[in-house]
Amino acid sequence: MESLAQFLKNKRKEEGLTQEMFADRAGVALTVIRKIEQGKKNLNLTSVNQVLEMFGYVLAPVKADSRSDGSEI
């Protein structure tokens, strides 16, 4: 399973965007994009979702026992 950091970085590069361009289009600070792509743990869910919405995704809580891949948090 791809990490959030790798997913976002791959999507950004597929679109041919720099981190600066991506932050501007997503309407977030450049530091938000950098923190996500660096895999920082202390992220604001609202900001993360604002970025992910550009690709039609959102992050939401999922009950651990309902995960289909059997992985743990």
pLDDT in tens, 20-59: 999 999 999 999 999 999 999 889 999 999 999 999 999 8
Tokens of 28: 């977030």
Domains and CATH numbers, the chain: 4-54 (1.10.260.40)
pLDDT at 18: 97
Burial class (CB in 10 A: 0-12, 13-18, 19+), 14: exposed
What stretches of 27-69 show up as alpha helix (H) in DSSP?
A: 30-37, 45-52
Look at 72 and 29; give whichever has higher pLDDT: 29
How far apart CA 25 and CA 5 sit, in angstroms, is 18
End-to-end CA, the chain = 12
* pTM of the predicted model as reported, rounded to 2 decimal places: 0.75
pLDDT at 2: 82
How far apart CA 19 and CA 31 sit, in angstroms, is 9
| Phi, psi (deg, nearest 5) at residue 28 | -125, 165
Look at 68 and 34; give whichever has higher pLDDT: 34
